[in-house]
Amino acid sequence: MIVIGFPHTAVSFPEFCVRIKKRNCVCQLMDSVKLHPICFQFRSVSVRTKSSCLLCGLTHEKMFSVLFLVILQVHIIYSGHSLRYYHTAVSAPGHGLPQYSSVGYVDGIQIKTYNSDTGRTVPVAPWMKRLESDYWEGETQNGNNAVAVYKTNVRIAMYRYNQTGGFHSFQEMYGCELRDDGSTSGYWQYGYDGKDFLALDTERGVYIPLTDRAQRSTQRWNDPRELAGERAQYYLQTECIKWLREYIELGKEELDRRVPPEVKVSSQQSDGVSKLHCQVYGFYPRDVDVIWKRNGIEIPFDETKQVLPNTDGTYQITVTVEVLPDEREKYSCHVDHSSLNETLIVTWGKLHERSVSVSVLICSYF
């Protein structure tokens, strides 16, 4: 892990100890956005437990010195379950795009969906159909109530940006995670036209503006009379975790499965540059750590590694490194995954295949 970050606002850490939390840490990069609500950063990490304090190197224009609190080469795989919701509203529905839609995921598996065209919340994962009809009626009512709220939020955002027409989108995503050690975390973010707008600081229960246009919304939601941040924080810590536990129990046969990855290292020559590709595919669950080493020493990466879904419910990732053509044998790809008992190491020209197949069956206005 190489993390270098600084707060979006003034530096005010009570202590120089940053607990790294997947999608909820002070220096954490979300999958779908380029900038975390609290800090700018170069790298992100995942953790299994909070048994040790992970620190980050911190520099800021208001600081008189640089804090060299950097932990190098820490690779710990997150293990647990997650519940995430994505809401999208648009200013100009049509052509198959509803004015408002929402989707829920557990561990990256779509479990339910709602859109304003049908006006119904329906199960997607087969095991969600075990829930009583009262549950689905309640979720449908929640979706119908949200349509007007999100429609208004689009109009407010357009007003904040001095826009009177055109196609615009308002997005909200939030969720919680329950780790195998019993610890929890959560996040809550908003976006407009594909860019960060504002987000919840889940540690303090206050909202952080990610653009100047979000200042008014942030001030309103952080007003002591609103308590919007505290209510969202409470939801993430209680209700979200409660429902996640219930969904885990419903879908445990699918959610608890472990499928080990297949790994292939190949080379490519282009424009005088030699590249090695480490292709890791067919694994489940999603969280994986893939690094390159040269003569046993890790090669740092400044780019976020992107894990992509496969059609069969598993995942894949490719990590590439540039090398000298006559030094390819010095490089090795190291893969850590919850399905593996130890780190998988594959060198150039080698292919690792699985020897055993494992297949176990609150709305607010701006």
191-208 average pLDDT score: 96
280-300 average pLDDT score: 93
63-91 average pLDDT score: 63
332-344 average pLDDT score: 94
DSSP H or E segment with residue 320:
strand 315-323
176: how many CB neighbours lie within 10 A of its CB?
27
Query: Confidence class of residue 169 from pLDDT cuts 50, 70 and 90?
Result: very high
Residue 65 has what pLDDT? 33
Least confident of 1-15, 122-136, 149-163, 164-178: 1-15
Least confident of 197-206, 231-240, 306-315: 306-315
Q: Shortest CA distance to 108 belongs to which of 23, 204, 222, 9?
A: 23
Name the residue type at position 314: T
Rg of the chain taking only CA atoms, in angstroms: 22
Domains of the chain with bracketed CATH: 1-78 (no CATH), 80-254 (3.30.500.10), 257-352 (2.60.40.10)
Per DSSP, the three-state class of 44 is coil
Residue 15 has what pLDDT? 32
Higher pLDDT, 219 or 348: 219
Query: Confidence class of residue 168 from pLDDT cuts 50, 70 and 90?
Result: very high
Query: Confidence class of residue 270 from pLDDT cuts 50, 70 and 90?
Result: confident
User: For the whole model, what pTM was predicted?
Assistant: 0.69
* Cα–Cα distance for residue pair 176/140, rounded to 1 Å: 22
Helix 239-250 to helix 228-237 angle (10° resolution) is: 30
Residue 351 has what pLDDT? 58
Residue 77 has what pLDDT? 52
Q: In the predicted model, what is the mean pLDDT of the chain? A: 79
Residue 9 has what pLDDT? 31
Percent of the chain, pLDDT > 70? 73
Q: Answer whether residue 339 shows pLDDT above 80.
A: yes
User: pLDDT (tens digit, 9 = 90+) per residue, 214-261?
Assistant: 999 999 999 999 889 999 999 999 999 999 999 999 999 999 899 999
User: pLDDT (tens digit, 9 = 90+) per residue, 103-118?
Assistant: 999 998 999 999 999 9
The answer to whether the CB of 26 falls within 8 A of the CB of 3 is no
